[in-house]
Amino acid sequence: MSALTQRLTDWWASRTSADELPVKTGPTRYGAAGSMPVQLSGFDQPLIWVTLTLLAWGLIMVYSASIAMPDNPKFAHYAHTHFLTRHVVSLVIAFVVALLAFQVPIQMWEKIAPLLFVASLLLLIAVLMPFIGKGVNGARRWIALGVMNFQPSELAKFAVLLYAADYMVRKMDVKENFFRAVLPMGVAVVVVGLLLLAEPDMGAFMVIAVIAMGILFLGGVNARMFFLIAAGLVLAFGLMIALSEWRRERIFAYLDPWSPEHSMGKGYQLSHSLIAIGRGQIFGVGLGGSVEKLHWLPEAHTDFLLAVIGEEFGLVGVFAVIGLFLWMTRRIMHIGRQAIAMDQVFAGLVAQGVGIWMGFQAFINMGVNLGALPTKGLTLPLMSYGGSAILINLVALAVVLRIDYENRQKMQGGRR
């Protein structure tokens, strides 16, 4: 009778899937009575489909937003498909590298996290050197590699994420002590921040600071310690803005982009972004029908791609993009929670760090395009034109899929 009961229990467990798992419960025997394993299919297919949807839509919009750029004398020597072709090349390279990254076990990522962090620091230093770093519009953020320009700040986001997760795992036993647990990590983030501000790239520094803060919080740092660090960061960014004239001008332009003083200066991009979104109304003017991309809205194919989406697809299109990013972030965070529930703390923190990264950067970009936040040079993940951003984003998502794959392998082994 007991054998029959055990078989029925095992059969019921195999037919049941779970939408939620505890965040931290200690060792868990998946497949035992009362546990609810997720359906095993190798890896998270909804996450893949959402990612492919964003990539495909981004490819279409990059072409739409850049097709008229050669009519501008500044880009007269470019073909109308120049940016489309380069974006396709970047996607191909990114897919190949992401497939290779998926083959790397999470344990190996944990081992090389410090080395990758040091490598990112060296590249951040190299980009500031003459004849190595490439300057555009007064900023030195790129290293020319022929087929694409590599942006070390994108690698730094991923490297800091891995390093912070590895650091929190190693310092779990002293997480209540500020100087032993948090201060060394804070120094590392400050060093990265100073190098980024020298480019300058305050937007990347903000994303990295939020990633590090998120991992500290999820890693279980004392609440008082966390809010103390958060207050320090807010104060630091406030001082950066207050002590920089051109950053102050951006804030003033954000507050009143339509004034004669700002409409043709720091508020020019924001005002034309709002015009584009306003023209789109509910259902948009149709794919390819944007007027603002015709040399009115600068950086339409990069930082302000959402404005073109809003003009051509309307409010419906903007809501669709927001919904896709919300769904993607939810799936990534869920994968991280699964890993932590199985005592894979490093993997769980990495996955949730990627969720924070994608969600926060998308939130900032959308806020800027919609006029809810001051103008900041951050691209829309997976959609905007930019080879190194696409490359690192797909590598990060490949690591998340690897975490999900290993989660499912462990759960499958637990039922045998």
Question: Would you say residue 408 lies in a domain?
Answer: yes
Question: What pLDDT score does 172 carry?
Answer: 65
Question: Would you say residue 33 lies in a domain?
Answer: no
Question: What pLDDT score does 132 carry?
Answer: 82
Question: Would you say residue 83 lies in a domain?
Answer: yes
| Low-confidence residues in the chain, pLDDT < 70 | 1-42, 137-138, 172-181, 414-416
Question: Would you say residue 182 lies in a domain?
Answer: yes
Cα separation of 299 and 77, whole Å? 18
51 neighbors 59 (Cβ within 8 angstroms): no
Exposed/middle/buried for 129, CB within 10 Å: 0-12, 13-18, 19+?
exposed
Question: What pLDDT score does 149 carry?
Answer: 82
What are the C-alpha distances in Å from 244 to residues 197, 227, 241, 260, 270?
12, 26, 5, 22, 20
Total tally of structural domains belonging to the chain: 1
206 neighbors 168 (Cβ within 8 angstroms): no
Range of the domain at 387: 41-414
Question: What pLDDT score does 134 carry?
Answer: 79
Question: What pLDDT score does 21 carry?
Answer: 38
Question: Would you say residue 35 lies in a domain?
Answer: no
Cα separation of 278 and 315, whole Å? 9
Cα separation of 5 and 291, whole Å? 69
Q: Which two tokens stand for residue 355?
A: 């969720």
Question: What pLDDT score does 359 carry?
Answer: 95
Q: Name the pTM for this structure.
A: 0.85
101 neighbors 399 (Cβ within 8 angstroms): yes
Question: What pLDDT score does 283 carry?
Answer: 94
Question: What pLDDT score does 16 carry?
Answer: 42
Cα separation of 351 and 397, whole Å? 8
Task: Please name the helix (run of DSSP H) or strand (run of DSSP E) that holds residue 135, with its range, or none.
Answer: strand 133-136
Question: Would you say residue 294 lies in a domain?
Answer: yes
Question: Would you say residue 185 lies in a domain?
Answer: yes
